[in-house]
Chains A and B, each alone.
Chain A
Amino acid sequence: DQQVKQNSPSLSVQEGRISILNCDYTNSMFDYFLWYKKYPAEGPTFLISISSIKDKNEDGRFTVFLNKSAKHLSLHIVPSQPGDSAVYFCAASLGGANSKLTFGKGITLSVRP
């Protein structure tokens, strides 16, 4: 049972445009959500996170939006750059002492120059 779902396996956008990466979850007890970026042959790199008590968190070109009623979150990258091309994972945790992460399958973002 996939509790965190990234239904689109890939996304291609033009440099300078917005990239929108979507993620859905089924467990309403998830309390904290994170996005990781992964290049081939490297471990995931933390990008941005959001607590369930917020609906938006922004860090430079990256913004994460959380819609708890829809159990949906999205990562916006504006403007997209070729160096953003990577696999992006959405992850969720129950928070507090139970902090293991549940990941989606990832989405491959390609930013065309």
Chain B
Amino acid sequence: DTGVSQNPRHKITKRGQNVTFRCDPISEHNRLYWYRQTLGQGPEFLTYFQNEAQLEKSRLLSDRFSAERPKGSFSTLEIQRTEQGDSAMYLCASSPQSGLSYNEQFFGPGTRLTVL
């Protein structure tokens, strides 16, 4: 399977704990995006990487959130001191930098976070 993969698929944690999610994009895609989706809403942009450079962060991404893409391949999203309001589906997407599909983003299955 050469699509975007995300791990874990589900995460249940207690308030105040730290969690980390991983995203593996499509191998030839150098753009990688993180979105968050809550019930009844569409995905909301969190942050964007081109290769290893983090080019944009949403104001939704508080100081408790950090994302990395150290070698321009996989990415991690860490949430420190989780709060119940962090409960959501965290989606990762990737796209190529050029070519016919460069405006199209391909999504992974998401990581469902539940904070108790």
Residue numbers of A with Cβ under 8 A of B are 4, 32, 34, 36, 41-46, 49, 51, 89, 91, 93, 95, 97-106
CB distance from B5 to the nearest CB of A (A): 10
Contact yes or no, A34 B45, CB < 8 A: no
B41 within 8 A of partner (CB): yes
Known A89-B43, A95-B103; judge A43-B109 contact (CB<8 A): yes
- Judged by a CB distance under 8 angstroms, whether B69 is at the interface is no
Q: Which residue of A lies closest to B56 (CB)?
A: A100
- The B contact surface, by secondary structure, is strand
A55 to B56, CA, bound (A): 30
Shortest C-beta distance, B20 to chain A (Å), equals: 19
Interface residues of B (CB under 8 A from A): 4, 6, 31, 33, 35, 40-45, 48, 55-56, 91, 93, 95, 102-110, 112
Most buried by A among B31, B55, B104, B110: B104
Counting from the closest, the 6 A-B pairs by CB-CB distance are: A103-B42, A43-B107, A100-B45, A32-B103, A44-B107, A43-B109
